[in-house]
Chains A and B, each alone.
Chain A
Amino acid sequence: MKRAAVALFILASAVSAQNVTYERLVHALDEQQNWLTYWGDYSAVRHRDLKQINTSNVKNLRVDWIFQTGQTGSFEAVPLVVDGVMYLTAGNGYAFALDARSGRQLWMYKHSFAPGRKGNGVNRGFAILGDRLFMVTPDANVVALDARTGRLLWQTEMASFNNGQYTATLAPIVIKDKVIVGISGAELGIRGFIDAYDAESGKRVWRFWTVPAKGEPGGDTWLADSWKRGGGSTWMTGTYDPKLNTLYWGVGNPGPDLFGETRKGDNLYTCSLVALDPDTGKLKWYFQFTPHDTHDWDAAETPVLLDLKWKGRDRKLVVQANRNSFFYVLDRETGEFLMGKPFARQNWATELDAKGRPILMPSQEPSPEGTKLCPGLAGSANFMAPSYNPETKLFYFAVREQCDVYYSNPPVYIEGRPYWGSVSRGVTEEPEWGLLKALDPLTGETKWDFRYFHAPWAGTLSTAGGLIFAGDQDGYFMAFDARSGKNLWKLYTGNALVNSPMTYLVNGRQYVTMPSGSAVLTFALPE
């Protein structure tokens, strides 16, 4: 009898323990009840085949539970959900595990900051492998936690903190046995990179420098020694194609930010999409959206992987609504440019040439007297996630319609301080606004859009219930008919939404989660 009880206990433990294998991550879309990566899967389609909440009943959606993180700052983390447990990070080095059905806390982790290091900063979430969770910290560490307890397993510094110069904000991505992360700080004179760490030991396996050194391929795109502080942050999570074994990562702005005189050249691989071998970190190909950027137009927006029929032929594509106002379609096997079309107001490029290089308009550089340019510094798109619905075959994303006046001023490098060559301010004589846009990725044409009063910072989620969930800057969490764009439901959350919604299923009940303020709001239909 006693032996049977022990056996039962062991069985129960084995079932309840998180064991997220690499195979499960590869097939994340087969687990519609779960949300196993920051993007929900490796391709970042952010579509779930869940239809319990649908166009006919979404009007009944209500808040089911609220979890207060107690953390200040911008709450940009997208939770993971694994078999009924929600794992999320918050700002300032905090992380939590929750009962995904009730919101009750299971454990909390707080990163220990070394003396003198700042303890504040945004974070965007976890990656998981086996029973280990991985996150980065505001002082540029990667940490591994025991998913069962929140206990720290290992901690590895990505780069010297250097008085706040190097920081980290993104959710890691796990590929095979490696935890792959990026760095922030291109506005403070860093040289950017993408790192891979061994998930078991925390030892660094490889590093890809996003700014090549002199003598390396691409090094001749930097004036003199400007590459040493060339920026190229990698502050958003990449996407991954397991069949091609290729990792896709958007690279941020060059340094000094917003000032090009001291770094003449294209400044590779800033404002580019780089395709890497995740086993070695070797570059397979790159595509630069904005050569020699002087407007902070990072290419950090989500590189979404789609398999579509392109001009009659099945092709593996990567698409991105870029901060520079153009929607791009590339062949993700080769990096070949296939299409680029503006999706928002822009007055910096007349068009893209046959290879996707922008043909610049005159007078688009920042100037001492101020240059008005669209889009503004925050761009027409940004880190907020888009989604793709395979039924409607449409790409849904948030568009910012906001211009800036860019004033140039030669920068001086001081460690830990902004290394910016310009300042920008909003164009005060015209209001900003925003759109939720449904776009055909094969043509770049808009099928419908919904106008927001203010430029948004929240992403989208698509479901088989025929819904697009989205949020606006005024604090409305909303559901739309994916086909018509009709607003079907809204709830005022009381805080600007700066995150992207996700959905999951526990015990047969569908939930939708959207953080607002410092709280996790989870919605469901009445039981």
Chain B
Amino acid sequence: MPSFEFEKDELDHLVAYVRSLSASAKTDNKPVSGDPARGRQVYEHSGCSGCHRIGSEGSVFGPELTRIGAGRSPEYIRESIVNPSADIPDEYNGVTVITRDGKRITGVRVNEDTFSVQLRDPSQNFRMFQKDDTQQVVHEVKSLMPAYDRLPQEDLQNLLAYLDTLRGNLNAGAGVKKEKGVR
């Protein structure tokens, strides 16, 4: 991204505007009430890791949660759990491909163009189709994540408290090892 020269007023307005676009952003660092340790148990028992990844554990099917506590507000995370269709990030749009023989393959759309569509299925495999070879490509309106709207309030609050503690490094363990003498 190139650097831009703005007057101070312009810059303030720009920042205010950008902030206004992101109601999901975290605005303070106050800890969320609840028991993070119990929340972790809720996370594990509810099968969240079947779709989500924290650090090196879990699936890459859904959004990674390693840094979720640093980037998203508790309100946004709560809504994402009980009503995940309220805001679906572009990179997690669901798509169902119906093949010529009637099979339905649903996954997260990785890419799509005029002639082809590529998706990631819940088993974390890429599935790739030429549209000519399919019956139909259906763009899912709802999130592929089920709504956890029957979770007991206490469990939900503990889960939020746990997720709020997740502020890890997305690239942890992926550092480049430099050879001695190489700068």
In chain A, residues 231-269, which have Cβ atoms closer than 8 Å to a Cβ of chain B? none
- CB neighbours of A454 from chain B (8 A): 113-114
Instruction: Give CA–CA (A421, B5) in the complex, Å.
Output: 17
| B interface, size bucket | under 10
Interface residue A474 (Cβ < 8 Å from any Cβ of B): yes
B91-133 vs A, Cβ < 8 Å mask (1 yes, 0 no): 0000000000000000000001111000000000000000000
A423-460 vs B, Cβ < 8 Å mask (1 yes, 0 no): 00000000000000000000000000001111000000
B115 and A490 form a contact (CB under 8 A): yes
- CB neighbours of B113 from chain A (8 A): 453-454, 472, 474-476
Instruction: Give CA–CA (A476, B5) in the complex, Å.
Output: 37
Minimal Cβ-Cβ distance residue in A for B13: A409
Q: Please name the 9 residue pairs, one residue from A and one from B, whose CB atoms are nearest each other, closest first.
A: A474-B113, A453-B114, A453-B113, A452-B114, A472-B114, A474-B114, A476-B114, A453-B112, A490-B115
- Contacts A451-B114, A474-B113 known; 10 new A-B pairs at CB < 8 A: A452-B114, A453-B112, A453-B113, A453-B114, A454-B114, A472-B114, A474-B114, A476-B113, A476-B114, A490-B115
- CB neighbours of A474 from chain B (8 A): 113-114
Residue count of chain A within 8 Å CB distance of chain B: 10
| 17 A-B interface contacts by CB (under 8 A) | A417-B5, A451-B114, A452-B114, A453-B112, A453-B113, A453-B114, A454-B113, A454-B114, A472-B113, A472-B114, A474-B113, A474-B114, A475-B113, A476-B113, A476-B114, A476-B115, A490-B115
Instruction: Give CA–CA (A451, B112) in the complex, Å.
Output: 13
Distance to closest chain B CB from A460 (angstroms): 15
A458-470 vs B, Cβ < 8 Å mask (1 yes, 0 no): 0000000000000
Distance to closest chain B CB from A125 (angstroms): 27
Instruction: Give CA–CA (A452, B5) in the complex, Å.
Output: 37
Instruction: Give CA–CA (A475, B114) in the complex, Å.
Output: 10
Instruction: Give CA–CA (A384, B113) in the complex, Å.
Output: 20
Minimal Cβ-Cβ distance residue in B for A472: B114
- CB neighbours of B114 from chain A (8 A): 451-454, 472, 474, 476
Distance to closest chain A CB from B3 (angstroms): 14
Instruction: Give CA–CA (A18, B93) in the complex, Å.
Output: 55
Minimal Cβ-Cβ distance residue in A for B93: A431
In chain B, residues 1-25, which have Cβ atoms closer than 8 Å to a Cβ of chain A? 5
A461-505 vs B, Cβ < 8 Å mask (1 yes, 0 no): 000000000001011100000000000001000000000000000
- CB neighbours of A417 from chain B (8 A): 5
Instruction: Give CA–CA (A153, B153) in the complex, Å.
Output: 80
Instruction: Give CA–CA (A453, B114) in the complex, Å.
Output: 5
Instruction: Give CA–CA (A175, B156) in the complex, Å.
Output: 75
